[in-house]
Amino acid sequence: MVQQRRKITPLGERLPVEVILNTVKKAYANQPDVTIDRIYLSAKPNAPATVVPRKKDTDLAEVYVNPCNGVVLGNSKEIFTQRFYQIVYELHYALLSGKTGSAIAGIVGLLMCLLSVSGILLWPGWRKLLNGFKIKLDAHPKRLYFDIHKVVGIVTAIFIALTGFTGFCWNFPEFTTPIIYAVTFTHKPASEPVSKPVPGKSPVALVEQLKTARTLFPQAMLGTIYFPRKPEDALSIRFKLPEDDDENGQSSVYLDSYCGEVLRVDNFLKMSLGDRVLNSFTPLHYGT
């Protein structure tokens, strides 16, 4: 029977990341075209490590591993609740229809935002505050429904507007991100760091890359590792600083896969206004 994905019983110190990854790699030993795309390490002590294998251009089922003893707890296809939530998530942001569904959902989010803002402007309470929150229970049904609409609307409008706006920005990043950098007078970050492949040379071992990255954030907790998908891609390692509320952290180190050189460092405590706005979308959209 597959164990529950969400909670585990902490058994002490976590195993090295390489041990967790090797456990998953062994399961795909007979499929040489399967690689490890990324691994999530939660700051919560009772949460499993999540490893995402990848085949060609497609993510495979997430594999959940107990980070304390290396036991595989199952994957997202085996655990019904995880598969269910994955389908709901894809329905939520893309209507189960790929890029077309994502575009439709993004436009709907923008319309939600505009309707909420227009509702706030039309709210009767701007003329007389009491009328804006008054519900006549003994009035004609049309008046009763209007009163309920205006009260519920003004209470929830700001939340609906933020949810719709952030969803729209996420689904159209190529359009919205440059605008956010422009209106916040923030210099847009340079293109993604790249590695310089060396013919005949293998990538630097992960344990060495982690040592280099940890020297930049010695007090931080390891959050997520994104492995290169192409030879020229950099190795990206995310950290969670003590002051950071994000579960996986918002500080990153980019390293050259072949020489281990640090290509870029994104420090959560030193982020630009534009980056802080973009990072605020997650807690605003989720209501956290």
What does 178-234 look like in DSSP terms, one character per residue?
HHHHHHTT-PPPPSPPB----TT-PPPPHHHHHHHHHHHSTTSEEEEEE--SSTTBP
Give the chain's mean pLDDT: 92
Task: Compute the average pLDDT of residues 116-144.
Answer: 95
Instruction: Confirm whether 284 is domain-assigned.
Output: no
220 and 166 housed in the same domain: no
pLDDT of residue 109: 98
| pLDDT value at residue 83 | 82
pLDDT in tens, 142-169: 999 999 999 999 999 999 999 999 999 9
User: pLDDT band for position 7 (50/70/90)?
Assistant: low
| Residue 86, pLDDT score | 86
User: Cα separation of 167 and 107, whole Å?
Assistant: 9
Q: What is the pTM of this model?
A: 0.82
pLDDT of residue 11: 64
Q: Where are the beta strands (DSSP E) in the chain?
A: 34-40, 49-55, 58-59, 63-65, 72-75, 221-226, 235-240, 251-255, 262-266
Q: Which residues pair with 52 in a beta bridge?
A: 38
Does some domain include residue 96?
Answer: no
d(CA 5, CA 84): 13
| Residue 93 burial (C-beta neighbours within 10 Å; 0-12, 13-18, 19+) | middle
Give the pLDDT band (50/70/90) at residue 6.
low
Residue 30 has a pLDDT of 92
Residue 113, pLDDT > 90, answer: yes
| Residues 168-195 pLDDT 10s | 999 999 999 999 999 999 988 777 899 9
Are 54 and 78 contained in the same domain? yes
Judge contact between 237 and 56, C-beta under 8 A: no
Cα 234–Cα 188–Cα 268 angle in degrees, nearest 5: 65
Name the strand (E) or helix (H) holding 149: helix 141-171
Tokens of 210: 């982690």
Q: How far is CA 274 from the centre of its chain?
A: 17
Those residues whose C-beta lies under 8 Å from the C-beta of residue 241, and which sit 6 or more positions away, are 217, 219, 220, 249, 251, 268, 269
How would residue 242 be classed by pLDDT, with cut points 50, 70 and 90? very high
pLDDT at 288 over 60: yes
Residues 29 and 63 in one domain: yes
pLDDT of residue 168: 98
pLDDT at 10: 67
34-56, pLDDT tens digit by residue? 999 999 998 888 889 999 999 98
Give yes or no: residues 80 and 27 share one domain: yes
- Choose between 237 and 247: higher pLDDT: 237
Helical (H) or strand (E) element with 151: helix 141-171
Domain of 120, in residue numbers: 101-183
Q: What is the pLDDT of residue 80?
A: 81
> Is residue 197 domain-resident?
no
CB 263 within 8 A of CB 255: yes
Over 60: is that where the pLDDT of 232 sits?
yes
Does any domain span residue 173? yes
Query: Which band of pLDDT confidence, cut at 50, 70 and 90, is reported for residue 77?
Result: confident
How far is Cα 258 from Cα 242, in angstroms, rounded to an integer?
A: 31
- The C-alpha atoms of residue 39 and residue 64 are separated, in whole angstroms, by 10
Dist. CA 182–CA 180, nearest whole Å: 5
Nearest to 34 by CA among 43, 26, 45, 42: 26
Helix (H, G, I), strand (E, B) or coil at 74: strand
Assign 262 a pLDDT band (cuts: 50, 70, 90): very high
Instruction: Look at residue 188 and tell me if it is in a domain.
Output: no
Is 253 contained in some domain?
A: yes
- pLDDT on residue 81: 80
Judgement on whether residues 112 and 64 belong to the same structural domain of the protein = no
pLDDT of 2 reads 37
Residue 259 banded pLDDT, cuts 50, 70, 90: very high
Tell me if 32 is assigned to some domain: yes
Position 40 in a domain: yes
Q: Cα dist. 46→19, 136, 210, 242 in Å?
A: 18, 50, 23, 18
CA distance 189 to 197: 23
From 150, 183, 216, give the residue that closes a domain: 183
CA proximity to 41, closest of 11, 61, 68, 78: 68
Q: Work out the average pLDDT over 62-67.
A: 93
Same structural domain for residues 68 and 113? no
Strand pairing report for 262-266 and 251-255: antiparallel
Number of domains forming the structure of the chain: 3
One domain, residues 82 and 125: no
